[in-house]
Structure 1
Amino acid sequence: MSLHPSLQSYADAWTHSVDAISELVSPLVEGEWNRRTPCPGWSVRDLVSHVIGLDCEMLGDPRPIHTLPRDLFHVTNEHQRYMEMQVDVRRHHTAPEMTSELEYTIIRRNRQLRNESRQPDAKVRGPLGTEITLEQAMRRRAFDVWVHEQDLRVALGVPGNLDSPGAHIVRDKLLGALPKVVAKDAGAPANSAVVFDIHGPLEFLRTVRVDADGRGSIDGAPSLGPAATLSLDWETYFRLACGRVSADAVSDRIKTEGDPELTTAILRNFAVTP
């Protein structure tokens, strides 16, 4: 048996992004591994450590036994402490140690994917001791690795792959969160619609509709009389949704029409990643 067809797109996206990460960091000299990234408190080394650590967990490796320092200002909750463990344990690793472990982890994961015969609904280990399906785990890895590839590109000044396989998975996952952002978090009025017009490497138009009971749904049909319209480029969209920038910091890249209080509330609640 081989990888289930419904999992192939996630495997392809992960492979594309992780190979790009390897190409980005392989030529870096020691000092460049300390460059700041858009992730609070994380350097280039830390981001690569995170990628390595979570893929090792996908391989079934035991988590490191390690005590975190108490002065990590960016670690404020249990989820962040969980993620930080794989990062902090590698903070003193050299550039050659980092690149060799990344390359070895990629080799092991590619072998695992080639031999993967489990069904998409098979249960696997998730963060904080939870159980999730294999499909959820692979979707998360494809999402996570593409976003961190983009973090590294920002830190290193090497833009690219904004329309790669991982970008499409990230787009779909972020769009799935929009109804809650608009209807619940931003409190859009009942029987209203909000249009998102996205341009750039990935172009799409989506309408979030709020029904009479305040429930949100999303579709690709335009609305003739939306309560608000937000127009922005794809890079700004995902960086906002992933909490990499604030709306104020990129206000010159966002065009809004309609109810200003509603658009402000939407942008204030736009970040949906942990």
Structure 2
Amino acid sequence: MTVHPSLQTYADAWTHSIESIAELVKPLAEGEWNRRTPCPAWSVRDIVSHIIGMESEQLGDPRPIHSLPRDLYHVQSDFSRYMEMQVDVRRHHTAPEMTSELEYMIIRRARQLRNETRDPETMVRAPLGAEQTLELALRMRAFDVWVHEQDLRTALVQPGNLDSPGATIVRDTLLEALPKVVAKDAGAPASSAIVLDVHGPLEFLRTVRVDAEGRGSVDGSPSLGPAVTLAMDWETYFRLACGRVRAAAVGERIKVEGDQDLATAILQNFAVTP
């Protein structure tokens, strides 16, 4: 148990997801590590490499000294270049090397979380030399490992854990970004409401309200006259919001009522992860 209860939810979700990932990849044959995943340009090995690298940085380990190849055409920004470093340095590691490094990292990181005594507002290392609070760092690690667990499950055709502790954190984090998607990116008109109705393992109904000044907010109360209602299953929702699929590819899983042009604009801007 961590000293601060506000951190425990994130630590528990992280533990559940990271242990699920370890179970998923432990029995894989060498060739299975090269399977493509829904995460753009990354294989099973790449995702596990990314997780190992990010958790190692949370432990305070130095980043690898490594030059990226020039033909990684999916690397288009400083952020993606930063993330790719931990991935590319492990691209030729064998299956036993990958699983043993993952298991050792989990042991070290779990010990760190059990013994965590720092205040949640303590500033810690973040990508690109930035800083973030410890609470935000743990929240984002819980978010990241659950989403990547789902990437691996899709690639390995082993569905599961769609309603695990990490799923709830991912839901809440994605919903926080929804007002910007609707009000700013999609340009929903002032004094309008957009309803999102999600069913499946994780069910929820949320209304995004755009006030007279064009600012968006989200709440759990229904709207009697929404401009748009979007209904979809939970898996479709998080895959869209995390940039794993485009709306056109899963159109049959999305039910749209109301202003079709506004619905299209919302769905085109639905992805909120880097």
- Asked if TM exceeds 0.5, the reply is yes
Deviations 1:133-153 (A, max 9, x none): 000100000000000000000
Q: What are the within-5 Å matches in structure 2 for residues 101-120 of structure 1? A: 101-120=101-120
Matches within 5 A, 1:244-255: 244-255=244-255
Where 2:181 maps in the other structure, the secondary structure is helix
**In structure 1, distance between residues paired with 2:31 and 2:24:** 15
Cα drift, residue 3 of structure 1? 3.0
Is the 8 Å Cα contact of residues 206 and 222 (structure 2) preserved in structure 1?
yes
Partner of residue 173, structure 1? 173
Equivalent residue of 2:256, what SS?
strand
Q: How does 1:18-167 map to 2 (within 5 A)?
A: 18-167=18-167
Determine the C-alpha separation between the residues in 2 that align with 1:105 and 1:2.
18
Give the match for residue 210 of structure 2.
210
Bigger mean CA deviation after superposition, 2-11 or 65-74: 2-11
Q: Percent identity?
A: 78
Deviations 1:59-89 (A, max 9, x none): 0000000000000011110000000000000
1:263-274 equivalence runs, <5 A: 263-274=263-274
1: CA distance between counterparts of 2:208 and 2:46?
A: 36
| Cα shift at 1:57 | 0.3
Aligned amino acid, residue 184 of structure 2: K
AA partner of residue 99 (structure 2):
T
User: Residues of 1 paired with 2:17 and 2:171: CA distance?
Assistant: 15
Cα offsets for 1:193-212 (capped at 9, x unmatched) = 00000000000000000000
Verify the 8 A CA contact 2:198 2:204 in the aligned structure 1.
yes
Which blocks of at least 5 consecutive residues in structure 1 are unaligned? Answer: none
Structure 1 match to 2:220 = 220
SS across alignment from 1:79: helix
Which aligned runs of 4 or more in structure 1 are off by greater than 6 angstroms?
Answer: none
Q: Cα 1:247–1:256, aligned 2, differ >3 Å: closer, same or farther? A: same
Distance (Å, rounded) in 2 between the aligned partners of 1:163 and 1:39: 20
Distance 2:7 2:251 in 1: 37
> Secondary structure of 2:207's match?
strand
> Would the aligned equivalents of 1:53 and 1:87 in 2 still touch at CA under 8 Å?
yes
Offset at 1:41?
1.4
- 1:198 is aligned to 198
| Structure 1 length-normalised TM | 0.99
TM-score normalised by length of structure 2: 0.99
Distance 2:240 2:40 in 1: 14
In 1, the alpha carbon distance for the partners of 2:45 and 2:3 equals: 31
> In structure 2, how many angstroms separate the alpha carbons of the residues matched to 1:73 and 1:203?
38
CA contact (8 A) 1:194 1:227 kept: yes
Give the 3-state SS of the residue equivalent to 1:65 in structure 2. coil
Counterpart of 2:204 in structure 1: which amino acid? F
- 2:236 is matched with 236
SS in 2 for 1:195: strand
Amino acid at match of 1:30: E
Instruction: For residue 87 of structure 2, give the secondary structure of its aligned residue in structure 1.
Output: helix
Q: Which amino acid is the alignment partner of residue 183 of structure 1? A: A
SS at match of 1:194: strand
Does the residue aligned with 1:205 lie in a helix, a strand or coil? strand
Give the aligned CA root-mean-square deviation in angstroms: 0.7
| Paired letter, 1:151 | D
Kept in 1: contact 2:2–2:8 (CA 8 A): no
